[in-house]
Amino acid sequence: MYFRPFRLFKLIVTFICVNIVIYELYRLLIHSKTSSSLTNENDDLSLILKPTKNNLDQISYSLQPFYIRLPNFSDDEAKNWFYSSSYYKIHSKKCPQGLCEEKGILFNDTKEHLSVNVFLVKNGLYINDDCGYNYGTNAVKRRFVSADETTVIYDKAIIYTVPDGWAFQHFLDGVGPKLAHSKSYLKKYPDAKVIILKGVRFDRSVQEIWSMLGVENSERIIHYTSNMKVGAHLLINPCVTPGIHPRLWQDARSMYWSISGIPNEKTEVKKRNLIYIQRTSTNAMNSARLILNEEPFIKILRDYCLKNSLNYVQYDHSKDTGHIRSRIELFYNAKIIIGVHSGALSNMNFAQSGTIVIEIMPFRQESSVLPMTCSMFRPEDIKACAGYILYTQAQLLNQSYWILPNVVNVDGNINLNISRVEKLFDKI
């Protein structure tokens, strides 16, 4: 047998080339999986930098299409009511092959549901633009040349001008999903101003969340009014992002847990709380939607807790004087959350996946296709209804959502059908 150095050399070169090819294929496969599944809940989204012209950088990411399951129904009355709703009439057209019950409603519009963006604009100018996925292209690129075009200039600023973002409910459903993919900029630029809309108040709980993110109201938050023209040498704009997507909402939830010191474990902890979110004449921002026969209703809840070794918690947000951190922990440990349609149900954003959320949905008999929180001037009109936002939130958070429609009286208050409540708790 003869030693052939040239053949050995060819084998070594071939071996090296094959390994390089295998490595590149593996790297591309891993990148593809990361891009499509977004499995790491603890990190910001892996954004892709797309350098553009005119002193603007676009950082973007494409999320995957998703489904929103239909609610759980305890009886045919609830099911038929939902199927007659404006929400279902609008969205059932998006069910693949009409299989709404099997798969749910498909959300796959690139602009509205899938495209995540952050724009970094040198000498950017913000002038009362809507912070959402419809943010105009020209508005994103807007820049100032001289100070005369502005009312104020900051070195760095980040835009979170979501409508009513100063209020707890709308911070969670508007600002939170945008923070989920852009919160790293708060740390990267600790001197950057945070632009939010000025409101009739600034909810304490919202201030506390911002503070836990390292943003103090007195130092960094700018309360924007419509007469302002805000310039920044670096304007960071995360607004062009879907309002709803499971990844964004679940990442926002993980963010709330993290800043509250709650371990974000993959394994679910034992949940022990049944939380009744109580609506009263003194704690309701809007009148009506009060449960008139509350005593027998509460008895059902307490009896269920006794049978299932749960803690009964009657939550009244107007009496909650503690730090938001305590509330996040309370709802993190919730097994069941129940209440009448109201902003206080937004606390479900702190609850784990699998938590049972029961929404008592009030409606008027003369317009039973809609919750009473919505209005419709003509029955033949089909219009989107904000009354279903809590249902949407629960599904985005991978929770078990149950709907219990109940007619209201002339004052807009509720006499609950107690037998239907009992039937619902027998099913869950």
**pLDDT mean by block of 10 residues, the chain; 428 residues:** 58 66 50 35 47 79 94 94 84 84 92 95 96 93 96 98 96 96 95 97 97 94 97 97 96 96 68 93 80 94 96 93 95 96 94 96 68 47 65 96 91 92 95
**294 plus 355 within the same structural domain:** yes
For residue 180, give the nearest of 160, 207, 208 by alpha carbon.
160
**227 plus 312 within the same structural domain:** no
Domain assignment present for residue 162? The answer is: yes
**225 plus 264 within the same structural domain:** no
**237 plus 268 within the same structural domain:** no
Give the pLDDT of residue 416. 94
What residue type is 235 in one-letter code?
A: L
Strands 334-340 and 311-315: unpaired
Domain assignment present for residue 153? The answer is: yes
Give the pLDDT of residue 377. 47
Domain assignment present for residue 147? The answer is: yes
**281 plus 422 within the same structural domain:** yes
Strands 311-315 and 273-277: parallel
Give residue for tokens 């005119």.
54
Give the pLDDT of residue 369. 45
Say what the pTM is: 0.84
What are the phi and psi torsion angles at 356 (to 5°)? -85, 125
C-alpha to C-alpha distance for 56 and 233, rounded to whole angstroms:
12
Residues 30-53 as b or e (16 or more Cβ within 10 Å = b): eeeeeeeebeeeeebbebeeeeee
Residue range(s) defining the domain that contains residue 421: 259-427
Domain assignment present for residue 16? The answer is: no
**Which of 197, 213, 241 is a domain's end point?**
241
**232 plus 287 within the same structural domain:** no
**285 plus 403 within the same structural domain:** yes
CA-angle at 233, arms to 231 and 236, nearest 5°: 80
**263 plus 236 within the same structural domain:** no
Q: Are 236 and 120 in contact (CB under 8 A)?
A: yes
Q: Which pair of structure tokens corresponds to residue 111?
A: 């602009």
Q: Are 305 and 311 in contact (CB under 8 A)?
A: yes
Give the pLDDT of residue 37. 32
**182 plus 280 within the same structural domain:** no
Total domain count, the chain:
2
**Which of 210, 241, 272 is a domain's end point?**
241
**282 plus 235 within the same structural domain:** no
Give 172-207 as a 3 state SS string: HHHHHHHHCCCCHHHHHCCCCEEEEECCCCCCHHHH
**405 plus 284 within the same structural domain:** yes
Q: What is the CATH number of the domain that holds 405?
A: 3.40.50
Domain assignment present for residue 75? The answer is: no
Domain assignment present for residue 356? The answer is: yes
Give the pLDDT of residue 272. 93
Q: Are 195 and 228 in contact (CB under 8 A)?
A: no
Domain assignment present for residue 369? The answer is: yes
Side-chain-side CA neighbours of 378 within 13 Å: the count stands at 3
**308 plus 201 within the same structural domain:** no
For residue 328, give the nearest of 279, 398, 284, 273 by alpha carbon.
273
- Residue 340 forms beta bridges with which residues? 360
Domain assignment present for residue 169? The answer is: yes
